[in-house]
Structure 1
Amino acid sequence: MKICIFGAGAIGGYMGVKLAEAGADVSLVARGPHLAAMKENGLNLIEEGDQRTNVAVTASDNPEDLGPQDYVIVTLKAHSVPPVVPKMQPLIGENTTIVSGVNGVPWWYFHKIGTDLEGTRLESVDPGNAQWDGFGPDRVLGCVVYPAAEVIEPGVINHIEGNRFSLGEPSGEKSERALALSKALSSAGLKAPVRPRIRDEIWVKLWGNLSFNPISALTHATLDVLCTDPGTRAVARGMMVEAQTVAEKLGVKFPIDVDKRIDGGAAVGAHRTSMWQDLDQGRPMEIDALVTSVQELGRLTDTPTPTIDTVQALVALRGKTAGLY
């Protein structure tokens, strides 16, 4: 089984180290100083504060060096994927599975959904149908990424918490390809359950990202603060209630209620969300995948999203005034 991780930053690098350590045939696509460090010194993983693992990895910035794969695990940020679809083509053979480990509403959301919205394309996350046409939705295996990790220096990943990568077919079936990848990830010490309702998990994670990320980028408040301050908690709650209405119209079932989800965010503590970090570091924020996509789904389901609309407008302008777009 050949596995390529496309976008071997923090999460992709963490997964890459675990797979390589377990003896899997894994390769990584990365770039810049991070790639150079991996080639020279291998890829290093720090776990539980001080436990350090170093593995030699096959890494390149040119997919042509790696050839067709059984699985291509995409761990880029959502807005970074459409522009690189043409570059990824050498990795894709007749039976290649694309594993979409990307935050937010996935571009394949309406593939095999079994409703009258079957086959609907989402412009907010797949402009110009780049992924739908370039990959083909039949190749896709859904993945919800739970670990937290960071690149602390080129070639060095610090694993903060979590080791679960939930997998799921858009159709809900337990396919051979899903079970085979689950087994490979489990052999590497990762949790990889195959879920029959992967969209439910996508929404539970998105629920927090949709609200906490843009509010933190706008206020520079950590999770413990924005989830307990009465004003920002109310804004987050309003966004989440609107999102829940949209999702339930699409058949999603939420296993917890809104307030428990917000309390869970508060329990994370003084965490700076990824959107806030991107803003501080001058990188484009994941606004479309996390926020604009829910607006688009609101229009598709005739659901008003006034709180989401307001926050989306504010954080989009914040990105523009910061020169990120």
Structure 2
Amino acid sequence: MRYLILGAGAVGGTIGGRLHQAGHDVVLVARGPHLAALRADGLRLTTPDGVHRLPVPAIGGPDEIALTADDVLVLAVKTQHSAALLDRWAPRPVAGGGTAAERLPVVCAQNGVANERLALRRFARVYGMCVWLPSTHLEPGRVSAAGSPRSGMLHLGRFPHGADEFARRMSADLTASYFDAPVSADVMAWKYAKLLSNLGNALEAVAGPIDGELRERVWRRVKAEGEAVLAAAGIGYPSEEEQRAKRGDRVAQVPLAGERRGGGSSWQSLARGTGDIEADYLNGEVVLLGRLHGVPTPLNEALQRLAAAFAREGRPAGSLPDAELAALAAG
């Protein structure tokens, strides 16, 4: 199989880079200065076992490659970019007949729970991937992955449910490429569990690390709102104990020499000045479910709005004053 990584940032760059290191056929899809750096110097992937310069082929879009039936599309962009990217790839012809939408699998290696539905509107074969992968992308051409002894844990399964031969084949490739990749017939349950932990992304992005009494108090309330809406919606997910037991000591985040993680994916969006952020599909998912099921979600709604304003206005990551955060919590 050839893996086309649609979005070669922190997650996509790590998955693509590790697959390439293990000898698999990989193409990275990127844009702008990141694409230019990948084409000029390859992918610089920093991991606990060193700094790797990887000559992974990189392209800017579907018009630069001829698709075959052995291709796998791995969607690794933020959710706000998913629909436009899927629309570019769906109508592309595949050797032997048919289109990408008809013949190729799409694997959603993303936070949130909306991507799979977006993909299934366009593609016949869609797979969810729950990504536990501590990684950072702040500079063009450079990605760091701090997981050890495995780079990440990637639960994989068919959407909306099920496990099949493709999932098992991809799991085997990932397992041989520095990941744990359990195949799950109910992968979305794992993604809803991850959604709860991702509700802190916007808080970290605007207010900095979640430590100290104020931030921890806000985080507990944000998460409690998420748990309440999932309960009201009848959505089940593995407990924190089950998640910890599954991860064990397989994906511990370790310091990387010369590298600074800084923060999670939303923090990185603000730090890079991308102009957008994924809060609409993390905290916003909780807000949506709350409105559907009559559960109030004031803090998630406030963080959704605030994170969007930070991205739109170019405010620095982690710069929300404590006084404003306290007022937010009191509102």
SS in 1 for 2:4: strand
Whole-Å separation in 1 of the counterparts to 2:111 and 2:176:
24
Deviations 1:1-53 (A, max 9, x none): 122111112221221122122221221111233323322333232221x6233
1:146 matched to which residue of 2?
132
The match for 2:201 among 210, 213, 226 is 213
- The correspondence for 1:282, drawn from 273, 276, 281, is 273
Aligned partners of 2:79 and 2:115 also within 8 Å:
no
SS at match of 1:304: coil
Normalised to the residue count of structure 1, the TM-score between the two structures is 0.78
The within-5 A match list for 1:96-135 is: 96-108=104-116, 131-133=119-121, 135=122
Inter-partner Cα distance in structure 2 for 1:189 and 1:37: 24
Q: Which amino acid aligns with 2:234?
A: L
Q: Do structure 1's residue 204 and structure 2's residue 205 form an aligned pair?
A: no
Unaligned runs of 5+ in 1: 110-125, 261-266
Q: 1:272 aligns with which of 254, 263, 282?
A: 263
Counterpart contact for 2:162–2:186, Cα < 8 Å: no
How far did residue 83 of structure 1 move?
2.1
Per-residue displacement from partner, 1:69-121 (whole Å, max 9, x unpaired)? 53100111111122222322327263211101111122335xxxxxxxxxxxx
Instruction: Render the CA deviation track for 1:267-287: whole Å, top value 9, x for unaligned.
Output: 989953332332243221111
Q: In angstroms, what is the RMSD of aligned CA positions? A: 2.8
- Tell me if structure 2 keeps the 8 A contact 1:222–1:273: no
- Match runs of 1:1-325 below 5 Å: 1-48=1-48, 51-68=50-67, 70-89=71-90, 90=92, 92=100, 94-108=102-116, 131-133=119-121, 135-136=122-123, 138-151=124-137, 153-161=139-147, 162-210=151-199, 212-219=200-207, 221-223=208-210, 225=211, 229-248=212-231, 249-256=233-240, 271-283=262-274, 284-322=276-314
CA distance in 2: counterparts of 1:46 and 1:32, whole angstroms: 21
Q: Helix, strand or coil for the counterpart of 1:26?
A: strand
TM-score, normalization: structure 2?
Answer: 0.77
SS of residue in 2 equivalent to 1:172: coil
Q: Please state how far the C-alpha of 1:156 moved relative to its aligned partner.
A: 3.0
Instruction: Give every structure 1 segment of 4 or more consecutive aligned residues whose post-TM-superposition deviation is greater than 3 Å.
Output: 151-154, 267-271, 313-324
Alpha-carbon distance between aligned partners in 2 of 1:86 and 1:253, rounded to the nearest angstrom:
31
- For structure 2, the 5+ residue unaligned runs are 95-99, 245-251, 256-260, 317-331
Q: Distance in 1 between matches of 2:160 and 2:268?
A: 35
Q: Distance in 1 between matches of 2:133 and 2:19?
A: 15
In the alignment, the residues of structure 2 paired with residue 286 and residue 195 of structure 1 have an alpha-carbon distance, to the nearest angstrom, of 25
Offset at residue 153 of structure 1 (A): 4.2
Shift of 1:194: 0.7
Q: Distance in 2 between matches of 1:18 and 1:240?
A: 33
One-letter amino acid of the counterpart of residue 13, structure 2: G
Q: Give the whole-Å Cα distance in 1 for the aligned partners of 2:268 and 2:137.
A: 13
Counterpart of 1:119 in structure 2 is none
CA offset digits 1:185-205 (Å, max 9, x no partner): 122232111113222221222
On the 8 A contact 1:142/1:198 being kept in 2, the answer is yes
Deviation at 1:159, TM superposition (A): 1.6
Whether the 8 Å CA contact 2:138–2:268 is kept in 1: the answer is no
| Corresponding residue pairs, total | 287
